Amino acid sequence: MHSITLILSLLSSQACAHTFIWGVFVNGVDQGLFKGIRIPAYNGAPGGGGYNNSPVKNLTSIDLRCNVMGDIQAPDTIKVAPGDNLTFDWHHDYRNGSDDIIAESHHGPSLVYISPDPPTENSFVKIWHEGLYEESTFPNPGKWSTTSDLRLNGGHMNVRIPASLKAGHYLIRAEMIALHEGEVSYLKNPVRGAQFYPDCVQIEVTGDGDVALPEGVSFPGAYDYDTPGVVYNVCTPDPLAGTTAC
């Protein structure tokens, strides 16, 4: 009863959320609502105000790792084996076919990292990335992972657990990055700036694999405002009028 109450409480605060992971499939098998997922937490004052992930823009914030209050352990962990395919089921408001996943204007890349759990310095290793995969032609902004792939495919993000990975507890950090306001740095204009939607999933890798992860990056720390793509204008220029459209 307590876990059901907790989920209902979390869902009641999701109106300010943009997009996050609601479920995980292992080799096509649904592991259940929010199982193993560090749900972005409500961090406002009791009774009103605040937000959960709307969104992370400060690249020095600990929220960039696993979203708001994302260093709090989830109550359960998903067991997987090396080579298993994981599908992260992203949604905005509802876990059903009517959900919009992410706003159609939120063009940008998607990435997945893996780290031993708990993370240490430079422990997150990127294992998947999709960005702009069809160039823009005015007035089309091109095809981006967030809007032309994930949004149009039910929010399903697929990644494979590295072959022969050593057994142990790991943290998967998946994210979408929305660049519709990313033409200027958040440092220069905090009203705008790239919008980051990270979420973390706790897994336990089983088996007798002997491959350890190489050195990776830290969150926060992996991105800064000079990192290529963090400041990026997704709007396409009109070659005749000199204006842009998104």
What's the rounded Cα separation, in Å, for the pair 24 and 42? 22
CATH architecture of the domain with range 2-245: Distorted Sandwich (2.70)
Backbone angles phi, psi at 145, to 5 degrees: -55, -50
Alpha helices, DSSP H, located in the chain: 2-12, 63-66
Amino acid at 152: L
Tokens representing 174? 């998946």
Residue among 113, 110, 63 at smallest CA distance from 90: 110
Q: What is the pLDDT along the chain (246 residues), one digit of tens a residue?
A: 444 444 444 444 444 568 999 999 999 999 999 999 999 987 666 655 566 777 999 999 999 999 998 999 999 999 999 999 999 999 999 999 999 999 999 999 999 999 999 999 999 999 999 999 998 877 788 899 999 999 999 999 999 999 999 999 999 999 999 999 999 999 999 999 999 999 999 999 999 999 999 999 999 999 999 999 999 999 866 666 555 556
Chain mean position to CA 17: 12
